[in-house]
């Protein structure tokens, strides 16, 4: 009588192949998720810069509190992957400006390529605490 089905060896080979594929695919997927969340920080900082510019036009000064721009007392990005902050600055010539910062939180702290994003009133984009460059992280 002829038996049908898979042998134990065939099942083990299929499981080993599946484990190898998973070992390759999972880190790539996790890296992709970290990269996609960077867009959230960039968009949040650009939105904040736009609000700062609008506020400056109306009040001739920049704000040092995000609550003045309509954010909550503990501002974070849309999905909560970055904490947002603003610093109002005045240079030695009396010119005012601001620096916006998006600091990673939660699982996003594992993003060592593009850690903390900054944007200032002159439009200078930077990253700190990261191995990547501002150009590669900001996408320009």
Domain boundaries along the sequence of the chain: 9-138
Q: What is the pLDDT of residues 18-42, one digit of tens each?
A: 999 999 999 899 888 888 889 989 9
Structure tokens at 45: 């900082």
Distances (CA, A) of 3 to 13, 16, 20, 77, 88: 20, 24, 30, 60, 78
Rounded Cα distance, 115 and 135, in Å? 13
Give this prediction's pTM.
0.76
pLDDT over 70 (residue 56)? yes
CB-based contacts of 58, cutoff 8 Å, min separation 6 = none
Which residue is it, tokens 């992709």?
32
Rounded Cα distance, 34 and 41, in Å? 11
């Amino acid at each position: 009588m002829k038996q049908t089905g898979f042998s134990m060896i065939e099942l083990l080979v299929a499981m080993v192949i599946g484990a190898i594929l998973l070992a390759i695919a999972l880190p790539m997927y996790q890296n992709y998720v970290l990269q996609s969340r960077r867009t959230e920080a960039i968009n949040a900082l650009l939105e904040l810069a736009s609000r700062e510019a609008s506020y400056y036009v109306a009040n001739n000064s920049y704000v040092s509190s995000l609550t003045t721009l309509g954010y909550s007392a503990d501002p974070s990005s849309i999905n909560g992957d970055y904490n947002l902050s603003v610093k109002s600055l005045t240079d030695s010539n009396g010119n005012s400006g601001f620096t916006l910062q998006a600091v990673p939180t939660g699982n996003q702290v594992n993003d060592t390529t593009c850690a903390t994003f900054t944007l200032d009133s002159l439009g200078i984009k930077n990253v700190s605490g990261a191995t990547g460059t501002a150009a590669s992280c900001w996408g320009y």
